[in-house]
Structure 1
Amino acid sequence: MPPVLSAALRFVPAAALLLAAAPATDWSQVARPTAKGAYVFGNPAAPVKLVEYGSYTCSHCADFANESAPVLKGQMIRSGKVSLEYRHLIRDPADLGAAILARCAGPRGFGAAHAMIFATQATWLPKLGTYQQAHPDIDAKPLIAQARSYMDAAGLTAAMRARGLTPAKINACFADKAEVARITAMTGDAPVEVRSTPTFYINGELQPPAGWDKLEAVLRAKGAR
């Protein structure tokens, strides 16, 4: 056998071993925007597709995000079996402000910002009422001005600056009319049966109101692992 061919054959098993040892994709670290502006966490080709209409000022949404994370994100989405599409259902100016800030982090930072906002909701949400009482004229301001004022008062603007967003970037995000329209359009485009947050669909089927424990059972019945 020619020496060159013999040497090449000796490297085939090693190459095969390297391919076999290549780590599987950690889909929990993937978040991509859709054409309509929602964000999909995980494998876009996942066989089980969970859609959530949520709000950052919704306490039940925060409960779901925080309770589900170890299994939904840590196992089901990570494995590629489940994807989660998060659609904004804007309830109030503060919710809009939080959505603008989360999305301001871009596709690479949205997942972490999204999780942080829900994880710290119990800390920042009460500050909104305090601010509103101290500024009874807040409702007279334009919507975006209200959203920004609430985020500054809640400390979320500072939290996003600590995550690397510059003041100029944050200002630009609040001034981005196209992005704001994209966010609010999700509320207008929601199906008529979506009347509260969170509302879930699994593979296109509307789910009755339920906590994570019941939703987990439905996901597993659909093949989530």
Structure 2
Amino acid sequence: MRILLALLLPLILAAAPARDWSTVATKQANGAYLIGNPAAPVKLVEYGSYTCPHCGAFSVESGPVLRGRLIRSGKVSLEYRHYVRDSADLAAALVARCAGPKGFAATSDRIFATQRDWLPRAADWSQANAERMRMYPAPARLRAEAEGAGLLAIGRTAGLTDARLDACLADEAEADRLVAMTAAAPPSVVGTPSFLLNGRAVPGASWSAIQPALAAAGAR
């Protein structure tokens, strides 16, 4: 029996489907979400903003290789650290994180993929309602801005209920954590997106700059 098992085990392991690490997200001590294999040999950190067009372009352009192959295989992990630039960005971050570890990556991708639609709406809404919003407490302003921009609709598409979204946008402690994450960014982060690769700053803010750096680090 042991001999037979020893002969069959390699065949069983070969037939077993490889784990898709791109669907795995874990919350880190600093509040950031790490997407992929926590033990990946190549560790990429992104400081990003949902209201940054360059961040949106990076998310879309890098997706097929970074998420679709490198993270999926377990060779690379991506830790997404929020760099909050404005109230619309904060609202978008709270909506993305409202999906929790299981839904964060997909919801974050959806927010970036639809950035060209909701970001102009956010700017128009903010300009039209600035005076009225001064009378609202901060959580109510965030909720109203998220609705006006279309971010709540994105959250609903991700399966989040209105009650859940309301609770997330009213979570001042979570909002404070995101602001603290921004303040804790290293001096190398002077704009978004900014990247650290295995703990070192990587020059460039585009996928065409980051992909060769990943390859040089062994991610192929």
Residue 180 of structure 1 corresponds to: 175
3-state SS in 2 of match to 1:135: helix
Residue 110 of structure 2 corresponds to: 116
For 1:74 and 1:88, the matched residues in 2 are separated by: 22
Matched, 1:54 2:48: yes
3-state SS in 2 of match to 1:90: coil
Residues 1:106 and 1:142: Cα distance change in structure 2 (over 3 Å): same
**Deviation of residue 41 (structure 1)?**
0.9
Residue 220 of structure 1 corresponds to: 215
**Deviation of residue 12 (structure 1)?**
5.4
Say which one has the larger Rg. 1
**Deviation of residue 154 (structure 1)?**
1.3
Picking from 137, 157, 175, the partner of 2:152 is 157
Residues 1:11 and 1:83: Cα distance change in structure 2 (over 3 Å): closer
For 2:66 and 2:19, the matched residues in 1 are separated by: 16
Picking from 47, 63, 71, the partner of 2:65 is 71
* Equivalent residues in 2 for 1:29-40, closer than 5 Å: 29-40=23-34
For 2:138 and 2:80, the matched residues in 1 are separated by: 23
Matched, 1:136 2:102: no
Structure 1 stretches of 5 or more lacking a match?
A: none
Structure 2 stretches of 5 or more lacking a match?
A: none
3-state SS in 2 of match to 1:56: coil
May I ask how many residue pairs the two structures share in their alignment?
Answer: 219
Q: TM-score, normalised by structure 1?
A: 0.91
Residue 102 of structure 1 corresponds to: 96
For 1:193 and 1:168, the matched residues in 2 are separated by: 39
Q: TM-score, normalised by structure 2?
A: 0.93
- Quote the RMSD (CA, aligned, Å): 1.7
Residues 1:10 and 1:187: Cα distance change in structure 2 (over 3 Å): closer
